[in-house]
Structure 1
Amino acid sequence: MASTEDKAANKENVSSWKDSIYNPRTGELLGRTASSWALILLFYLVFYCFLAGMFALTMWVMLLTLDDYVPRYRDRVPFPGLAIRPNSLDIVFNKSDAAQYKTYVDHLEAFLKRYNDTEQEKNEACISGQYYDQESETEMTKKACHFKRGSLSLCSGLSDNSFGYRDGKPCVLLKMNRIIGLKPIGDPYINCTVKKDNPVQMQYFPSEGRFDKMYFPYYGKKAHENYVQPLVAVKLLLTKEDYNKELSVECRVEGSNLRNDDERDKFLGRITFRIKVTE
């Protein structure tokens, strides 16, 4: 049996453990009195309110330096990348099965909605071959030149709602990424090549696959709200010999100072995609 001294020791240990949480003799909770807890909580409340105030003040001062229409800092690359629509670098379909190319056709149709005549008639009929420079204008909202999808001809989806996919002669749309203030020197156009022994015939729309200067410069999303990027459509005139083969197609922006040979960025001024059409 436990001795009286052992029982007293155990009782003292239990009492000591409970007192570390709440001591009824001193009124301490977790080693602090109520006034001590009140002071430390007050300190942290004031401290974090001060930090929040400093953060809010810093953000307010920073926002005062920003312009809603023109970015203060432009640290992006000075030359545009090239993008493709439909948004896929692997285009594979059976031309006899509409379900297989429906996704591509739907994507192109949805993308071209902003290029419908009803939308583009709101924009300006600009002078071809000239930059549409609006720097001197006092209006912050800039006018945009119209680009009607009809200029894409056989790849507009107007005369052929399958964009050539039904016939095994698919269309792809190419556009340059937007860069504020960009004015290409020269006459930029798209040139595509297929990596195979026998070349593949292609058609470009608009004529010669050119990006007209009147769509430059771009003034930013808010200032140029109705702006749409100029497009170049490439129609691949594939033959039976090209079917059931994976073709690698590379398209580049040529004829200007826009870079297309940076090995660190495979999409700067160029893009490579694969296409395979089966019967």
Structure 2
Amino acid sequence: MASSEDKAANKESTSSWKDSFYNPRTGELLGRTASSWALILLFYLVFYCFLAGMFALTMWVMLLTLDDNVPRYRDRVPHPGLVIRPNSLDITFNKSDPQKYSHYVEHLNTFLQRYNDTEQEKNEDCRQGAYFLQEDPEETTKKVCRFKRGSLSFCSGLSDTNFGYSEGKPCVLLKMNRIIGLKPLGDPYINCTVKKESTVQMQYFPREGRIDKMYFPYYGKKAHENYVQPLVAVKLLLTKEDYNKELPVECRVEGSDLRNNDERDKFLGRVTFRVKVLE
């Protein structure tokens, strides 16, 4: 049995532990009085309010230096990428089954809605072969050069609503990514080749796959609100010998200072996709 001295020691120890948390004699909580805790809370409240104010001030000053029309840092994307429509790098379909290629046709039709004549009427007929420079203040809305859907000819979806997919000669549309202020030198055009040994012929619309300079420079999403990128359509003139084969096709931007051979970025100035037509 525990002695009376042990019981007294245990009781004193328990009382000491409770007093360290809250001492009823002095009114201290965790060793501090109410006024001491109030001063500490007031200090941290003022301290963090000061930090929040400093953060808000620095953010406000930084935002004053930003331009609504032009990103502050643009050196990381000096050259545009090349993308295709329909939005797939693997185009496989059976030319005899409309259900197998209908989603490609629908995607192209939807994408080309902004290029309809009714949408392009509000845009300008610009002088071909020259940059469309607009030196007016950047706050104003920039004018946009007209790109006629009909210039894509057999790949416009106007004369052939199936974009060649029903006859096994599919069309793909290519465009460059937007880069503010880009003015490509030379005479840029799109050139496509089949990587495997093949004699596949191709048609380009507009003629020779040219990308006219009048669509440059681009002034940004806010200033150039109605801007549409120039397109190049490529019609693959496949024959029966090309059916049931996977054909890798590479398209590049040629004839200008735009890079198309960066091994670290396979989409910089070029794009590779696969086409397989079944019958």
Q: Does the alignment reach a TM-score above 0.5? A: yes
Alpha-carbon spacing, 1:267–1:3, altered in 2? closer, same or farther (3 Å)? same
Who is 2:114 aligned against?
114
Who is 1:42 aligned against?
42
User: In the alignment, residue 273 of structure 1 is paired with which amino acid?
Assistant: F
Runs of 4+ in 1 over 4 A off after TM superposition: 136-139
Q: 1:69, 1:140 within 8 Å by CA — same for their partners in 2?
A: no
The reply to whether residue 96 of structure 1 matches residue 87 of structure 2 is no
Inter-partner Cα distance in structure 2 for 1:44 and 1:165: 69
The reply to whether residue 68 of structure 1 matches residue 68 of structure 2 is yes
Who is 1:57 aligned against?
57
- Greater shift, 119-128 or 26-35, is seen at 26-35
User: In the alignment, residue 187 of structure 1 is paired with which amino acid?
Assistant: D
What stretches of structure 2 of length at least 5 have no aligned partner?
A: none
Q: Deviations over 1:86-132 (max 9, x none)?
A: 22212222223333323322222222121111111111111111211
Inter-partner Cα distance in structure 1 for 2:162 and 2:12: 89
Alpha-carbon spacing, 1:38–1:168, altered in 2? closer, same or farther (3 Å)? same
Alpha-carbon spacing, 1:31–1:169, altered in 2? closer, same or farther (3 Å)? farther
User: In the alignment, residue 81 of structure 2 is paired with which amino acid?
Assistant: G
Query: RMSD in angstroms over aligned alpha carbons?
Result: 1.8
Who is 1:219 aligned against?
219
- Secondary structure of 1:84's aligned partner: strand
Who is 1:198 aligned against?
198
Q: CA deviation at 1:139?
A: 6.2
Q: 2:138, 2:223 within 8 Å by CA — same for their partners in 1?
A: no
Alpha-carbon spacing, 1:21–1:129, altered in 2? closer, same or farther (3 Å)? same
Inter-partner Cα distance in structure 1 for 2:119 and 2:182: 24
Alpha-carbon spacing, 1:8–1:108, altered in 2? closer, same or farther (3 Å)? farther
Q: Deviations over 1:159-203 (max 9, x none)?
A: 223222222221111111111111111111100000122221111
Who is 2:277 aligned against?
277
Q: Deviations over 1:1-24 (max 9, x none)?
A: 332223223323333333333222
Q: 2:115, 2:148 within 8 Å by CA — same for their partners in 1?
A: yes
Inter-partner Cα distance in structure 2 for 1:223 and 1:38: 54
Inter-partner Cα distance in structure 2 for 1:41 and 1:139: 48
Inter-partner Cα distance in structure 2 for 1:139 and 1:187: 31
Number of paired residues? Answer: 279
Inter-partner Cα distance in structure 1 for 2:36 and 2:98: 76
Who is 2:259 aligned against?
259
Q: Deviations over 1:217-264 (max 9, x none)?
A: 111111111111000011111122212211110000111111111222
Inter-partner Cα distance in structure 1 for 2:246 and 2:145: 38
Inter-partner Cα distance in structure 2 for 1:15 and 1:139: 75
User: In the alignment, residue 52 of structure 1 is paired with which amino acid?
Assistant: A
Q: CA deviation at 1:267?
A: 1.2
Query: What TM-score do the two structures reach when normalised by structure 1?
Result: 0.93
Who is 1:229 aligned against?
229
User: In the alignment, residue 142 of structure 1 is paired with which amino acid?
Assistant: K
Alpha-carbon spacing, 1:11–1:267, altered in 2? closer, same or farther (3 Å)? same
